[in-house]
Structure 1
Amino acid sequence: MARLTLRASGAACPETAWERYASVDQWASWSPQIKAVHSVGRRLRPGMSGTVESVAGVRVAFVVEAVDDDRRTWTWRVRLGRIQVQLHHEVRPQGDGATTSLTMYGPRLALLAYAPLARLALHRLVQP
Structure 2
Amino acid sequence: MTVVPTAKWAAMGIGPAPAPEFIAARATKIAVPHHGWVRFALPALRREITVVGPRAPDDVWDRYVRPQRWPEWSPQIRSVDYPGELLAPGTTGVVHGPAGLPVPFQIIGVDAAGPVRTWSWTASAAGVKLTLLHTVEAAPAGTRTGLTVVGFAPAVAGYLPMAWWALRRLVR
TM-score after normalising by structure 1: 0.96
Deviations 1:56-104 (A, max 9, x none): 2101010000001124200000011210000000001100300000000
Q: Percent identity?
A: 36
Structure 2 portions without partners, runs of 5+: 1-43
Deviating above 2 A after TM superposition, structure 1's stretches of 4 or more consecutive aligned residues are: none
| 2:108 is the counterpart of 1:61 | no
Corresponding residue for residue 91 of structure 1:
136
Q: Is the 8 A contact 1:91 1:98 kept in 2?
A: yes
Q: SS at the partner of 2:143?
A: strand
1:7 deviates by: 0.9
Distance in 1 separating the partners of 2:67 and 2:93? 11
Distance in 2 separating the partners of 1:42 and 1:120? 25
TM-score after normalising by structure 2: 0.72
Distance in 2 separating the partners of 1:27 and 1:63? 15
- Equivalent position amino acid for 1:38 in 2: D
Corresponding residue for residue 122 of structure 2:
77
Bigger shift: 117-126 or 35-44?
A: 35-44
- Equivalent position amino acid for 1:122 in 2: L
Distance in 2 separating the partners of 1:37 and 1:116? 21
Q: Which has the higher contact order (CA 8 A, sep 6+)?
A: 1
Structure 1 portions without partners, runs of 5+: none
Corresponding residue for residue 52 of structure 1:
95
Out of 156, 165, 168, the position equivalent to 1:111 is 156
- Equivalent position amino acid for 1:117 in 2: M
Distance in 1 separating the partners of 2:67 and 2:82? 9
Greater radius of gyration (CA)? 2
1:40 deviates by: 1.0
Q: Is the 8 A contact 2:52 2:141 kept in 1?
A: no
Distance in 1 separating the partners of 2:104 and 2:91? 11
Aligned residues: 127
Q: SS at the partner of 2:84?
A: coil
Distance in 2 separating the partners of 1:123 and 1:39? 24
Corresponding residue for residue 5 of structure 2:
none
Distance in 1 separating the partners of 2:167 and 2:68? 16
